[in-house]
Amino acid sequence: MVATQIAARGIRDRRVLEAMRKVPRHLFVPAGYGSDAYRDHPLPIGHGQTISQPYIVALMTELLAVSPGDRVLEVGAGSGYQAAVLATLGAVVYSIERIPEVARIAEENLKRAGIPNVHVIVGDGTRGHPPAAPYQGIIVTAAAPAIPGPLVDQLAEGGRLVAPVGSRDLQELVKLEKREGRVTTTSYGGVVFVPLVGEHGWEGQAGNGLP
Ligand code: SAM
């Protein structure tokens, strides 16, 4: 997976490649999908949600450029896999998930894989998580109509925020950097994610009454 799908497509950060080699992705996919775990596409994880394609996880991780000890906020815990990769790079991860059952799956997967330093929190991640702010890195793993304001506020000076931003059907992967209070944005091409549902996202999109 790492050689043919990730390094071959231009991911160069050796720490990211090593973390992607280390984390056992098969422990983060539902029973029955084990043989597909290392393939080049996203997979369903239940509740209409997905574990992202390995290459996209690697790309977002490289863009986030985390250093050991960084506090990282993830919006959209999903399977817990992206959080596991970030924790393997030495980050302390606060991973928010809006669907309680999915949050439980993430916690179980992380425990099974023996990954420490990930705090899974149930809630609306578009509001961020003020108790652990500011964050050196923020990663949004669901499609946002725009970058939620509270996330920009909770980004540390010198911090990076990576998110898919656009319509429900197609987004642009963007990276924000905050320097001397100013934010710069760079685009990294088209991606497709499930919607970010919440106060500062696609409010009510899922329509299932969850927070
Ligand atoms: N990062 C995950 C992984 O490694 O498996 C994949 C995340 S999946 C593509 C998107 C997740 O974002 C879903 O689990 C969805 O429930 C969650 N989500 C959507 N809107 C959210 C919000 N406002 N707050 C927190 N989680 C949200």
Atom in ligand 1 nearest the alpha carbon of residue 193: 9
With vertex at residue 136, the alpha carbon angle to CA 61 and CA 187, rounded to the nearest 5 degrees, is 50
Catalytic site residue from 52, 67, 95, 187: 52
Please, are residues 139 and 16 in contact by the beta-carbon 8 Å criterion? no
Q: What is the pLDDT of residues 143-194, one digit of tens each?
A: 999 999 999 999 999 999 999 999 999 999 999 999 998 999 999 999 999 9
Q: Is the CB of 140 under 6 A from ligand 1?
A: no
Which residues, 6 or more positions from 142, have their beta carbon under 8 angstroms from its beta carbon? 75, 76, 164, 193, 194, 195, 196, 197, 201
Out of 3.90.550.10, 3.30.450.20, 1.10.1370.30, 3.40.50.150, which CATH number does the structure's domain 2-191 have? 3.40.50.150
Assess whether 167 carries a catalytic annotation. no
Q: What is the pLDDT of residues 76-106, one digit of tens each?
A: 999 999 999 999 999 999 999 999 999 999 9
- H-run or E-run covering 58: helix 54-64
Task: Give the distance (Å) from ligand 1 centre to CA of residue 185.
Answer: 22
Please, are residues 184 and 163 in contact by the beta-carbon 8 Å criterion? no
* For ligand 1, mutation pick of 26, 53, 124, 141 (most atoms within 8 Å of CB): 141
Confidence of residue 46 (pLDDT cuts 50, 70, 90): very high
Q: List the chain domain ranges.
A: 2-191
Atom in ligand 1 nearest the alpha carbon of residue 125: 24
